[in-house]
Structure 1
């Protein structure tokens, strides 16, 4: 079938945005050549550290602040490393990065065919094989994507109307009842894409129903999100709304809200249903209203230790990427606001949140799971992935 142009254009190119709109941010524009050089140097340094034996996928910088922790293909973050390499290849055209991207993409193939262990197969396969197919047109990649979508669909519970996130016992999740986390919104893109590229039509219906059910049950009246909703697996009724990685059940966990912003922007793109565009703006606006001056959120907006609480640069990268797309769909006045915020976030990440010579990650000050005591104020591969995605969108928009 060749490269899917809809996937290419809609996800990464903003052909409807005028150059005058991007100029609403009065900060000095980034030098993309310098950014590209930094990216290549950092990625090549990481590649040089990768062990010959497994596991060999870089996930996060260890407590020493210098060395990588490596994980297997089954880790939920495994697709972000391959995705980074595909994005870096797209930004720079360096064939060596393409070869490395393909090497780490191919490692993930078993995920599409093994019994699915959680919802993150979307992160894993679509962020690796999705870009591989988009950039090469090789149909062997496409086959894996569709198989992965079918696997993800096996976690769907029609009585509830959402995909099960963790099909196993997790503390405070009332197993074996049905849990759904806000992160799952991102994985719907795999279903949408597969349904439009040779997969079953039912994949589209599952994605829409999941988005609608989540919109109904996963948010407070002010449009801030819970991290987890537990449903009765048989009746579909909500049992409780809680957090797993935020500071409290009623708090606004920054990365959770970023998944909602990105997720509902993507759902509107795929459905063109106005209710999703309206909701995307509502979950975005409450997030933007609570940001500190540099636009990089604290890991949880309600941490009483603010301003001494850790930041989460990954949430900023996710939201910056989402805003470049969301700005395409809204009225001109709001478009200017969203573009200014996206540019500000990206400028902050590029100027004050780079890892630099400290280690070979791209950005720092990322918080993974503070209540669990892991990956606090460090560098993590998904933050680097969305930082690259935001940079690529910035480059395409300004050019």
Structure 2
């Protein structure tokens, strides 16, 4: 692994030529991002939030508060306020967050971390308003209703033929539980998050540190009975965004626990991703697609990976290699190939994301969670420079 990282560092240094290696001044970048996102805001109805573009009819796909992606637009607008200090973005973020009222009481979904912590979480972090904190605590309470002590995990879906499905995406919802334990002083949220992380670590990963998408458990024994995919190429493939969810998740778990085993896991997952990336460092939608390199990229997976790499670079002994990789991914995402400009792409920032390829849903589109993690990666990148 160490040899690979050294080679990766050399490769990144030598490949920073051409468009993907060009630097753009940050004030100019934030101005362009702001102008672009304003196009999206203006296209959004009062009672909806934007999910992706284009839809099957060539327009925007809008959604309501029962959709797992509903919290990302507000989160992106809070990030824009953080980046610019512009009151326009503060007001837009507040208005979009208020559209989500009621979501904190949902118990039918495991995605409350995405839905609430990305929106209300950033809102509270940047404003300190108590009503935002209360919404996060309530969402954590709702999420805990999905925890099964026998399995040791939070249930992901209520649909399908699984007895108790757990998807790798669910790692991302644990951060909210850690936060709530810290704020309330109640360890039950943290305990559930650690249990979920440990059971997922035991059952989701292959020998090469790629991850299954879905693991189905028997609620009587607590043991896994099936390992599959839902959004990847096949049950044994490495679905691109799934790898990014796992990588980000365990990087975050290390931050929250300080347990070195999670740092080791994060590095191993990250190394799997990095050694399978193409030259421009933007993930394939599935790393086992037989059509590689002539297949879809997933800018959302790249953005998630970059954000996690910036964090990992602050705690790993291999920080220089991870930081260079993160910067290389962001440079590619900033290029004309991946970043939309001048009102194109429906106002979404990034092009070329893949939602659910097997279902031919949101394939090669702009999508809200790609923009969210891209902006988070930019903020982390800037924080490391200061």
What TM-score comes out, normalization by structure 1 length? 0.89
Counterpart in 1 of 2:8?
none
Structure 2 distance, partners of 1:182, 1:246, is 12
Counterpart in 2 of 1:369?
356
Counterpart in 2 of 1:150?
141
Compared with structure 1, are the counterparts of its residues 293 and 342 closer, same or farther at alpha carbon in structure 2 (3 Å cutoff)?
same
The offset of 1:24, in angstroms, is 7.1
Please state whether the residue corresponding to 1:179 is helix, strand or coil.
strand
Counterpart in 2 of 1:350?
334
Please state whether the residue corresponding to 1:78 is helix, strand or coil.
coil
The offset of 1:28, in angstroms, is 4.5
Counterpart in 1 of 2:159?
169
Structure 1 distance, partners of 2:58, 2:334, is 19
1:169-318 map, 5 Å: 169-170=159-160, 173-174=161-162, 177-198=163-184, 200-318=186-304
The offset of 1:233, in angstroms, is 1.3
Compared with structure 1, are the counterparts of its residues 382 and 329 closer, same or farther at alpha carbon in structure 2 (3 Å cutoff)?
same
What is the aligned counterpart of 1:131 among 122, 132, 135?
A: 122
Please state whether the residue corresponding to 1:301 is helix, strand or coil.
coil
Deviations 1:76-130 (A, max 9, x none): 000000000000000001101111101111222301124x111101100000000
Compared with structure 1, are the counterparts of its residues 90 and 65 closer, same or farther at alpha carbon in structure 2 (3 Å cutoff)?
farther
Which range is displaced more, 389-398 or 82-91? 389-398
Counterpart in 1 of 2:383?
396
The offset of 1:65, in angstroms, is 8.8
Please state whether the residue corresponding to 2:313 is helix, strand or coil.
helix
Structure 2 distance, partners of 1:190, 1:374, is 28
Please state whether the residue corresponding to 1:109 is helix, strand or coil.
coil
Contact 1:268–1:276, Cα closer than 8 Å, also in 2: yes
Please state whether the residue corresponding to 1:367 is helix, strand or coil.
strand
Contact 1:65–1:378, Cα closer than 8 Å, also in 2: no
Gaps of 5+ in 1: 1-22
What is the aligned counterpart of 1:70 among 56, 62, 71?
A: 62
Matched, 1:57 2:49: yes
Deviations 1:201-238 (A, max 9, x none): 11100000100000000000111000000000121011
What TM-score comes out, normalization by structure 2 length? 0.92
Structure 1 distance, partners of 2:39, 2:69, is 20
Structure 2 distance, partners of 1:283, 1:224, is 7
Please state whether the residue corresponding to 2:238 is helix, strand or coil.
coil
Number of residues of Structure 1 aligned to a counterpart in Structure 2:
367
Aligned residues: CA RMSD: 1.5
Counterpart in 1 of 2:131?
140
Please state whether the residue corresponding to 2:293 is helix, strand or coil.
coil
What is the aligned counterpart of 2:324 among 340, 353, 368?
A: 340
